Amino acid sequence: MVTIALYNLKGGVGKTASAVNIAYLAAANGLKTLVWDLDPQGSSSFFMHVSAETKNESRKLFTDELSVKEAVQDAAFENLWVIPSDMSARNADLTLDGLKQSKKKLKSLLGGLKQFDLVILDCPPGISLLHDNVFNAADWILMPNIPTTLSIRSYETVVAYFEESGYDQSKIKCFFSMVDHRKNLHNEVMQQFYKDKVFFKNYIPYLSDVEKMGTHEQPVFEYANSSYAAQCYRDLWVEIKKTCL
């Protein structure tokens, strides 16, 4: 089982859109795939039409009141499952802080999900105790980055945090997201960072077909399978598969 976290310190960079679309492609490739929604916003749960079935479900997973196996739900697609989030996920840091091994709880819970080939963690933004759990548990930290100065600064902050905390930096892989080639800044930042081997060659442009996931409430392939957006995710998936699986 391989665990990939879609993560960035920043919000609104395309973590959830990528988590859902990449999970869909992995499942279509025959991998038993689970999306674990760790964000109280519940966006990936929403795209897969799944919601928590018991009260405070996200919290109960960390306190062992509910097993991960019980929390897994079918998504509407073959080979695809979801652990949805609810609002109790907003208190994940507080919950984890009260536990022994507070930085390794997620890793130990993932031990109960070995029946999957791939687990994708859809992370909330930030750097907190929950994220320490993600950094310990995930085999790969996949970071969508909008090619702007602030986005790149946040990437550098994360790299510095990894260094400081003794996490394995080679786990971090990045790709550009919401790219707009009409913007000189985007082109310049991409040029500069492609020298950095942690960035995938394939990227996701800013495309209205991706934005429309919100109105269709589905992965992009379900309503625009032959679009450029769908092709970009397929190309990125091939590169992710080669590197991470």
Ligand X SMILES: Nc1ncnc2c1ncn2[C@@H]1O[C@H](COP(=O)(O)OP(=O)(O)O)[C@@H](O)[C@H]1O
186 binds Mg ion (CB under 5 A): no
Query: Residue from 4, 5, 17, 134 that binds ligand X (CB under 6 A)?
Result: 17
The pair of structure tokens assigned to 163 is 């260094």
Q: How far is the CB of 97 from Mg ion (least distance, A)?
A: 23
Query: Residue from 15, 103, 131, 186 that binds Mg ion (CB under 5 A)?
Result: 15
Q: How far is the CB of 122 from Mg ion (least distance, A)?
A: 6
Return the closest-CA partner of residue 206 out of 45, 9, 17: 17
22 binds ligand X (CB under 6 A): no
15 binds ligand X (CB under 6 A): yes
**Rounded CA separation 174/161 (Å):** 16
Query: Residue from 178, 220, 224, 236 that binds ligand X (CB under 6 A)?
Result: 178
12 binds ligand X (CB under 6 A): yes
The pair of structure tokens assigned to 32 is 């038993």
Q: How far is the CB of 11 from ligand X (least distance, A)?
A: 4
β-pairing, 118-122 vs 2-6, is: parallel
Q: Find the binding residues for Mg ion in span 23-82 (CB under 5 A).
A: 43
Residue 89's binding partner out of Mg ion, ligand X, none, with CB under 5 to 8 Å set by partner kind? none
Phi then psi dihedrals of residue 241, to 5 deg: -60, -45
16 binds ligand X (CB under 6 A): yes
Query: Residue from 25, 82, 146, 213 that binds ligand X (CB under 6 A)?
Result: 213
Return the closest-CA partner of residue 237 out of 145, 120, 131, 126: 120
177 binds Mg ion (CB under 5 A): no
Give 51: exposed, middle or buried? Use CB within 10 Å, 0-12, 13-18, 19+.
Answer: middle
What's 108-121 look like in SS3? Answer: HHHHHHCCCCEEEE
